[in-house]
Structure 1
Amino acid sequence: MSIPEISIKRHVLAGMISALIMLFGIISYQRIGVDRYPQIQFPAVTVLTTLQGANPDVVDAAVTNVIETSVNAIPGIRRIESSSRTGTSMVIVIFELDKDVDVGFNEVQAKVNQALRRLPDDADYPVIAKLETGAQPIMWLNLDGDRTTSQLSRYARTVLKKKLETISGVGEVQIGGRFDRNIRIEVDLQRMAALGVTADELIRALRNEHFQLPGGFLVGDQTEFLIKLDQEYHEVREMEELIVGYRDQLPILLRDVANVISGAQDRRTIAR
């Protein structure tokens, strides 16, 4: 007997079955979980590394390429995306859809740990995290004390951040409102005009004498060392001696046309 025949000849039974189906549907609808922002997890892992003060070329050669080469041997990788910016390297390892993201995370972590000895000594420890679209900060900490903003920022970056990253279950630690040290050059236009130094000459001198270059790797039998040509000025006294031009065959120093001040960088973000 077909379903249409049952519905016609035994309409009471058909009505009871329909009622039961509707009842089960209503109960199931009420028990379905609803999330306005559901957490979607892709089989992808990110590796974030900071190298303070390094330009994009140095970051790419000294950090990004090292991490990419290290994780490239992991099985099940679909593609690797990376970006190198001033002081920051981001490598995203995207796996095939059938790859267990927890297994991929452990594999990436193991490969990055093996590559640590090839990273620059002044690079921060890489932050490895699973890519989650719904990831949001779950805790905000405010740092206060009887120190300057620059000192508190340095303590948060060099001490507190590293300690928090070692806590089990912490995926990433970000610092908001950081206030880093930099060297500021305040140009005196009248002194420049009197000595015949143009802005282009000043910029050219800084570009030619204040730079970093990747030098490749020095490979030994058991070790491998990163070589970096660091021609950047880190102290005010050094930068003041920079030659920016000549007059009557005598060198014109940067201190002759500008004031070089060591202080904090311009505030770009504020965290409260």
Structure 2
Amino acid sequence: MERIARLAVAFPTTVLMAVLAILLLGYISLQQLGVDLFPDLSNPRLFIEVAAGEEPPEEMERRYVTPMEAAAARGRGVERVVSIVQTGRAQVTVQYGWAADMDEAYLDLQKAMADFGQRNDESTITVSQQDPNAVPVIVAAFYHPDSDDPDALRQTAESIIRNELIRLPGVAAVELVGARQMEVEILADALTLDAFGLTVETVAGAVQRANRNLAGGSITEMGRRYVIRGVGEFESVAEIEDVIVGYSKPDASVETRTPSDPNSGEP
């Protein structure tokens, strides 16, 4: 410090110019310093989405949410587990600490949830991680001037355009929103139901049981293991009409078309 003081006294102009140069350089650097308004963060949350048709909230909580919360809470670094349940859908949010390795946590949670998907063929279970940096950079809309069928546009966007976009270099994900999907309504006649001794719940239950893909175990042949799966989901309205919902006599069945009228249309 004494040598610096002597130098400042001996060469005041030189020292003053050096200090001014340092201050000027610092000011210029400060003005050009970039500010990261959206830093690279790894959000310590994982989401479990469950879709199970028209299951009531009580059944969703009993069959899915409660065991999933217990399985997720056993994971390393888990601080909090919360859930939202509604008819046919549920979301379980797993909160981790900021020091947790989210890639490892994601794999562990996927393994823990894989067993639920195998035991419940009628449900869809998805594990996802919300990345704050994964925001859309391009939003595109399209239409066809010669077509007024929204379902055809949705199928084209989902099966063709989306698959082509996802192959482009640098594209992480492509999400389709705002598309209308076709659904089938079964309009039951109350008088006909009463005449056959049926109820709306009976018809709905028969249709739901018929519209399922079931696992049938596996077989091993010549050193290879083959998984057996029964495919029974409906592919047309005619298949719904042929579902047996009851019997008017021991040898006379009642199909869906008898007490009701299935028809397809927009939701």
State the TM bucket, normalised to the shorter chain: 0.5 to 0.7
**Secondary structure, aligned partner of 2:257:** helix
* Alignment-derived partner of residue 134 in structure 1: 133
The aligned runs of 1:114-263 (5 Å cut-off) are 132-145=131-144, 146-147=146-147, 148-215=149-216, 227-249=228-250, 250-263=252-265
Per-residue CA deviation, residues 241-269 of structure 1 (Å, 9 max, x unaligned), is 111122343322211121111334x2xxx
Q: How many residues align structurally?
A: 199
Within 2, Cα distance between the matches of 1:220 and 1:14? 89
Instruction: Kindly provide the amino acid, as one letter, of the partner of residue 151 in structure 2.
Output: S
Within 2, Cα distance between the matches of 1:237 and 1:217? 31
Within 2, Cα distance between the matches of 1:218 and 1:77? 35
Q: Percent identity?
A: 22
**Secondary structure, aligned partner of 1:139:** coil
* Alignment-derived partner of residue 86 in structure 2: none
Within 2, Cα distance between the matches of 1:217 and 1:2? 87
**CA gap 1:218/1:166 in 2 versus in 1, 3 angstroms:** farther
- Structure 2 unmatched runs, 5+: 47-52, 56-62, 64-101
**Structure number with bigger Rg:** 2
Instruction: Kindly provide the amino acid, as one letter, of the partner of residue 40 in structure 2.
Output: I
- Would you say 1:78 and 2:104 are equivalent positions? yes
Q: Tell me if the contact between 2:154 and 2:180 (Cα under 8 Å) persists in the aligned partners.
A: yes
Instruction: Kindly provide the amino acid, as one letter, of the partner of residue 143 in structure 1.
Output: F
> Which of structures 1 and 2 has the larger relative contact order (alpha carbons within 8 angstroms, sep 6+)?
1
State the TM-score, normalizing by the size of structure 2. Answer: 0.57
Within 2, Cα distance between the matches of 1:87 and 1:205? 21
**Offset, 1:138:** 2.2
Q: Tell me if the contact between 2:246 and 2:253 (Cα under 8 Å) persists in the aligned partners.
A: yes
**Offset, 1:33:** 1.0
C-alpha RMSD of the superposition: 4.2
**Offset, 1:162:** 1.1
Within 1, Cα distance between the matches of 2:39 and 2:195? 64
